Structures are given as C-alpha cells and as structure tokens.
Structure 1
Amino acid sequence: MANHFISTNDVSNDVLRALVDRAVEFGHGRVRQTLTGKLVGLYFRRSSTRTRTAFWTGALRLGAQVVTFGPNDLQVTTGETWGDTTQVLSGYLDGFVARTNDTMEELRELTDQNQMAVINALTAHEHPTQAIADLTTITEEFGDLGGVHVLYVGEGNSTAAALAFTLGRIRGARLTVLSPRGYGLPADSLEIAGRLAGDNGGIVEQRFELDDAPTDVNVVYTSRWQTMGVAKADPNWQLGFTPYRVTQELMKRVSGDDTIFMHDLPAVRGGDVDDAVLDGPQSRAFRQAYHKMTAAMAILEWCVGTETGDPA
C-alpha cells in the first residue's frame, strides 16, 4: 500500500514530525540503504536544480534505482490520459516524483491506485517537500519548532503556503507573512492555515506594511519573487516588491540574538536578497538546500520503503 505525499495536509502531525526528525538524522550522516530494490520515477515538466537533484541523489543514497522523464517524454503530451499513464507506470515503479507547476488536482489523479506512491515536487499551490526541508533546517538550528517565530518576506507563493500549513500545526510556532499588497497568501490557503493553527496551537498571520514587521524573530525567510521565473500580470510589479528586499538593514531591524536567514533558492541577488545577507554569517540558505536532499530521503523512505527503522 503506497503512501502518497501530495500535500502536507494529507499526513498526520505525527508523520510530519517523524519526517522532519528522520531528515535531521540523515543530515547527520546516519544513512543506510532502506530502499534497495525499489524503483523511483522522476517527472519534471519544468526546470529544477535542487528538487530534482535532491530526489535523484537521495534515492540513490537509499539504494533505489531511478528512471527520469523529461517534459515531453510521456504520452500525455500526445493525448493519453493521466489515468491510463498511471495504470501503466504503477506496474513498473514504486514511487513517482512529479513537478508540474500546475494544480494539485492533476497529481490527485495519479493517486487512483495504491501500488505506486506519488510525491508532489511542486505545484502552483503548495511545495510540500520544501516545507519538510525548511522545518528540518529550523529544527537542526534551534532543536525544537515550538516557540519559533518565522518572518516570511515576499510573495505568498507555494513555498509560503507550505510553511503556513506546517508551522500552523506546531503548538507555539508562529509564521508572519509580510507581502506587498495584492501578493499575499491566497485567501483559500490563508483560511486553511488559520484553521490548522486554530486546531493545533500555532499562529499564522498575514501583514502588508513594512512598518508592521515583527522584531526579535528567529528566522527571516524569503523566496524568489518570480516563482519559476513566471512573469506577473502587472508590468510594474517590481516597484511594489523592491522595498521588501531582504537587506542587512532589514535583518538588523527584525533580528534577535539567534536569528538566521533562509531562502528556498534560486535567489536573485540584488533583487529578493542582497549578497551580504545571502553570504553572511546568519545565512543558512545553502544548508537548507542540502536539507532538500535529506527531506527527499525521508519522504521517499516513508512513501515507498518497507523498512524504516532506526538507521544503523
């Protein structure tokens, strides 16, 4: 029976915590090949540096073999339905990692079988595997997620949504999303995050004015303003985003004694973040990128592994 990972909202709080803890273990080098004999397919419709490589190398480190598909390699491009494609692939593969950049409904179609685990490697609405990498990085830094305050600066994109869905489920954790007006979290994502926070004791809030930025936060997080390089409808959109660039001045204004900086990458240097911040002593962006692989390993092991005990 496959465990699908389409949204973090599909898994229990216990599973969420276990995935993060397992990724931390992998990050400390405690790895054994629990996926020997498994076959994992990677389908990326759009460009990817970190997520594709993270799942590919992570699968290999765990002993699995990998089959890769480019954007035009599957017959869905010639009219075959995803249902027929999945029925075939599920007889070949144990897991299927897909980045579509479109809606999650398309990936949900792939889960109409229980032989092949389906993993969401990014849709327009949520980046769930990124959230596991983020929580892993924060856990490694602070030891616990309860009481951590994350300030996310920039567009309320799929990365921000995934953060909201996960941090809201952790008692005592707080996420403040600070966005230009018109570019905050979508209303439905904010509603879901608010409901999760209400049920679990976290706090998720949306703010728009820079003067309302909280201080003494534990994490300052930003993301590329043009997700996957997709242009925005307003040709002058950058004018509204420029004040939200993460600079040394902003870091000094909101930081406490132990504040770190995070970025899901790729970064636009001089755009969403200044070099001095991305390369500075507070930055954990490249350790965070490493944890994309440890998170991928934890997710793959949970989704397709038959043995997930403590690593040797």
Structure 2
Amino acid sequence: MFLNKLKLVFFFIQTINQSICVDLNNITREDIQTLEMEYPNIHQVILQQHPYYIQSRNEVLFCPLPYSHVVDDEDIPYEEGLEIINKTLTLVVSRCVNKKNYKLAYTIFLNAIESMVFTFMYRFCEFAIEMNEQLAEISFYLKNFSGKLAELIPIINREWISPEPHECILDVYKNHKSKEFKFNKFNINYKNALLNCMKLMEDKVHFLKEPNNISMNNMAVSDLERYCNMSYNFIEYRLFLAHNSTLFKYITGDIYQRKCFGCNKYSSGDSGIYFFSPCGHGWSCERCVKKIEACPVCNELITSTQGLNIQTSVSIVRESI
C-alpha cells in the first residue's frame, strides 16, 4: 500500500497546489528562464554523445521527450547544425533559445536532469552490489542515499520523470531484509533485484560528463567508498531546487490530463479523484471508478483504486541507524 501511494504521488502530485503552469505543447522563453533559475548549479554540466538522448533516424537527430505521460509529440528534431557533444548545457540551451526553438531547449534541459537523477541511482545500485560481493557494510551509505532520494523525489514528481527506477529500489530494500541494514552477507537474490533496477535506467545514464566514469568491478572497499562519496557530492552540488522554487508544477498538454475515463468530464479539484492500481494511471471520478475493470491507457487489470493522497515521505533506512 505504501509503494502504491508513492506511485500515485509520483505521477500526479504536480496537479495540486500549483503555482507554475507549463504547457508542454507551447513552451515559452519564460518557461526556460524559470527552469534555469530553479536549477542554478546544473548549467555548466557537459553533454556527451548518447544513443538515447541523441537519436539518429534517417540522418536526422531527434531529442526524446522525458515526460512519463503521453503528450502530442514523442520527440523533437534537433536544430540542424546544433553542436551538442562536449558542449555545456547552458550553451546548447541558449543556442536553441536564439533560434526560438523553446520546446527543444526545455526538453534538453529536462533530459539533463533526468539522466543525472538516473545516473545517481544507477551508481548506487552498482556500489551496493560490489559492497555486498565483498561482504562490506553499507548502512551509512544507504542512509545517505535514502536522504538524497527523498530530496530528489520532488524533482522527479514535478518534472514527470519516470518513477519506476526508485520504486524498484524501494522494493528491493523493502523485500530484502538485513540486520541493521548492513547487507554485509552475500545474497544473490538481493544482487539480482538491484540488477533489475539498473536495467530500468541503463538506457538513460551518462548523458552528462562525470568527474570519473569508471567501472566499480573488483574495486577495493576503500576505493568503492571513495567513489560513492564522489558520486554523492557531484549530485549534491549539481542537482537541487533553488530555495524559492515551488515543489509543484501545473503541466498541461497531456492527452489524458484530469479527464475522467468514464464520463469524459474534467475534474474541478482533488476531491473524488481516483487512480488505478497497480499501473498508476487515472483519472476517474467517484461514480465511474466502480465501473472500470481495466485501465483505459495500458489495459492492465485494475486490482484496486486509490484516492489522491499527496502526504508522504520516503525513507529506506530506519531512524535508529
């Protein structure tokens, strides 16, 4: 139930207490300026060649949209002649703005955020696997990761980044028990569960140049700990919301936004709004939710429904650690 509530929050928290409105189909220069002010330390990251974020089809480069929901477009063509590789994010975005291609600029910026979030989680999974194979305790690092994940979730929520990877990690530490969360006894099932989480992210990691991007295989424990700290410090500095930024964003342009699948009417607020489990799609009004057996978006059978509840917190490690 806890994870189901988290999933609903990840998908729909941006529709409550809105103070920023962004139309995905009509991005403006002001939207980009707002985004730049909200993430002041990410501007100087360097973009790298990437098979997902820089897709080539018929000799044309495309930029995929990062949004978890279906929108009118699946991707956007890059500007002809736009230099991306080994260029700073701020330079690439400013060149798109100069061409008045605001949607491309906005999407590149969000892709950088998405890749940084996923790379951080991916690196932690790598670290946890290697530490477990070497029978080394990770409780301290797991607590740090849990705290940082709690800070990243508002960013994931508001930018519509897929919640699946961190839901997967939450499931791992819910389903695999370890005394005092040390995880210092080798467990092949624990390892495979973390590998499954990594598969959810592997296509989207390493879009940004990191200080050191090296394999953790066969590292000594001291080197693993040092590398984990470096990864943590990198994300700690680069990715955070400015203090005056709202945690909520009202996003339009979603085909399925706020529309009851049963009566085809739009909701006027958060009362009487229900989502489907386990897929997490919605909306449905209180009257129609009892009539729908399968999700109209993904056709997955509905096992339960959940009213909108945005009060939640995330913690993997117990307070006593």
TM-score strictly above 0.5: no
Q: Which has the larger radius of gyration?
A: 2
TM-score (ref. length: structure 1): 0.25
| Higher share of residues assigned strand | 1
Higher relative contact order, chain-length normalized (CA < 8 Å, sep 6+): 2
TM-score, normalised with respect to structure 2 = 0.24
